[in-house]
Amino acid sequence: MAYDVIFSGGTVVDGSGDAPRRADVGVTGERILAIGDLGAAQAGERVDCTGRVVSPGFIDIHTHYDPQILWDSNLTPSSWYGVTTVMLGNCGFSVAPMRPETRKSCIEMLGNVEAMSVKALEEGISWEFESFAEYMAAIERRKPILNVGVMLGHTTLRMHEMGEDTQRAATDAEVRGMKKQLDLAMRAGAWGLSTSKSPAQVGAGGKPVASRLAEFSELLEISSALADAGAGVIQGVGGPGLGIPQWAQLARKSGRPVTWCSLHQGVDGGRHWEYSKATAQARSEGADLWAQMTCMANNAQFMLRTPYILNGVPAFGKIASLPHEERLAILSDKTWQAEAQRQMDANEEKRSFQIRWDRVYLVETTVHHDLVGKTMQEIAGGRPPLEVCVELSKAEDLKTRFKLILFNYDEDEVARLLQQDSSILGLGDAGAHASQLCDGSFPMRMLGHYVRTRRDFPLEFGVWRMTGHPAKVYGMKERGLVRNGYFADLCVFDPQTIAEGPEKRVFDLPAGADRLIKDPIGIDHVMVNGKFIKRSGKNLPGAEAGRVLRP
């Protein structure tokens, strides 16, 4: 038999968790048709993989590419990193269904909660859609380079049915309207539902995002659309009234997998093991429940001009949407500073992280070069750190960049959490927080740092966490494994060099907005549905290799 492409001489790590083995992989069309010794087989092309690993393409279950895919069908930077499938619509936020009258609030919400550039969104979102089905069609017209699954956001559902009046419990009629929209979306191919109760998520006008005001009974009712469809996944961010007991109840009632965020080392003052064990206990009692976590150190960059991560503090949230000059005057007020610091310390909103000035670093500046890399506690030298932070920022029009380390600062604990049977790897957040972080590069971190450098677990485990495991949990048929008959979503990488390159800031988003990117190291070839999107380390933009996936 002749094949279109044979990947020869490599070590196959097939995504199942089984041990690596020497084998060739034959691809014809969009499928894998043979795995074994294909030395005598004919092929249109042979790709020498000596010294390389041939694995399934990586699956990123937690992205926010919902707007970006409308202007960037190459889904960068994820398509550079060996990722072949991405899931959109996480944390309760999607851009459809969306009525014209709530588009402005949607953009402001994404700006506040996901730290997306409002100007980029205003210029980049085409809004040729209103319904979820129309949005899916808009994606398909763009012929994305990666496979794409899309969930529908709970906040978006509430905005569709309640307009701007979302700061209350929904009526029975409004809940029925939300369920109907989710039913329609599931028929159009939605991968499920996402929601959030996170106190840190503040939307338009400094108000809580809509899903935070939903009663649990509302979430149970609308999620029955997934039970009716017998398909899909529920993803969400916990908060007051939405913890592991509620997630487990939601999983049992819907009959669908539920992945909750976020199992970070250090979460809620160090309760990560309590949450991990509670998730495992719920699973042992029959709930298809998963604790979603990341292998990245969890950081958030911010400027006082756009202090995203601080907006969960009421004092910051209330001024988040004010004009620049008004905000500057309030930030400079000593009484306001004292109250803001009191609120940070008290954390009455029950944020899952601590805002500690000994974990806030000055990272980018055009003025204070001698302070780069120092913590604000060091820089303040006994003075109130917030006061000093404002002073430094005012010297460059509030554009000084700081980095707050939120979670995952103890790598030994992170490695142990990654090995728990109830964990699932996600939270790359690609497409969001673009000016603050680039965590979509997590495959490089997993394989280069935790597998090769730290040797916390073997290569086959690291690959399984990013391929076979998420594919099984999310019900992705014939993907996630190097197996005969499966779609040819493949990544060829050098296990001795795979790593993240350094972060760099570029200005390539619509309206010239900036983002942080990293170049991958050690990724040689990437194939999606039998088409190359990377060859010999070079990206092939416009490959049109992906599909819009439906459960």
238 and 197 Cβ atoms separated by less than 8 Å: yes
- From residue 131, alpha-carbon distances to 57, 135, 137 in Å are 31, 6, 10
pLDDT of residue 203: 86
Q: What number of other Cβ atoms are within 10 A of residue 415's Cβ?
A: 17
Q: pTM, whole model, 2 decimals?
A: 0.91
Nearest CA to 312 out of 196, 200, 198 is that of 200
H/E run at residue 331 = helix 324-331
Maximum alpha-carbon separation in the chain:
79
Token pair, residue 517, equals 């990117």
Nearest CA to 54 out of 3, 17, 19, 9 is that of 9
CA–CA separation, 4 and 118 (whole Å)? 45
Q: Would you state the torsion angle of the CA atoms of residues 149, 155, 156, 158, taken in this order, to the nearest 10 degrees?
A: 140
The helix-helix angle for 154-162 and 216-229 (nearest 10°) equals 110
152 and 89 Cβ atoms separated by less than 8 Å: yes
Long-range CB contact pairs, 376-379, < 8 A, 24+: 376/402
H/E run at residue 193 = strand 192-196
pLDDT of residue 206: 82
Residue 527's DSSP bridge partners are 490, 532
Q: What are phi and psi of 264, to 5 degrees?
A: -105, 145
Question: pLDDT in tens for each of the 551 residues of the chain?
Answer: 899 999 999 999 999 999 999 999 999 999 999 999 999 999 999 999 999 999 999 999 999 999 999 999 999 999 999 999 999 999 999 999 999 999 999 999 999 999 899 999 999 999 999 999 999 999 999 999 999 999 999 999 999 999 999 999 999 999 999 999 999 999 999 999 999 999 888 888 889 999 999 999 999 999 999 999 999 999 999 999 999 999 999 999 999 999 999 999 999 889 999 999 999 999 999 999 999 999 999 888 899 998 878 988 999 999 988 999 999 999 999 999 999 999 999 998 888 788 999 999 999 999 999 999 999 999 999 999 999 999 999 999 999 999 999 999 899 999 999 999 999 999 999 999 998 899 999 999 999 999 999 999 999 999 999 999 999 999 999 999 999 999 999 999 999 999 999 989 999 999 999 999 999 999 999 999 999 999 999 999 999 999 999 99
Cβ-proximal residues to 479 (8 Å cutoff; 6+ apart), any chain: 56, 59, 85, 147, 471, 486, 487, 489
CA–CA separation, 59 and 466 (whole Å)? 6
Cis bond leading into 73, ω under 30°?
no
pLDDT of residue 136: 98
219 and 178 Cβ atoms separated by less than 8 Å: no
pLDDT of residue 141: 98
Nearest CA to 439 out of 63, 70, 150 is that of 63
pLDDT of residue 105: 95
pLDDT of residue 268: 87
CA–CA separation, 188 and 132 (whole Å)? 7
Domains belonging to the chain, first-starting first, are: 56-297+408-501+520-538 (3.20.20.140), 304-404 (no CATH)
Indicate the burial class of 503 (C-beta count within 10 angstroms; 0-12, 13-18, 19 or more): middle
Nearest CA to 112 out of 303, 298, 306 is that of 306
Token pair, residue 287, equals 């709930």
Across 413-497, where does the E strand assignment appear? 423-425, 490-493
pLDDT of residue 48: 98
480 and 83 Cβ atoms separated by less than 8 Å: no
pLDDT of residue 301: 87
497 and 452 Cβ atoms separated by less than 8 Å: no
- From residue 197, alpha-carbon distances to 155, 214, 218, 249, 320 in Å are 10, 9, 13, 16, 19
* Side chain identity at residue 273, one-letter code: W
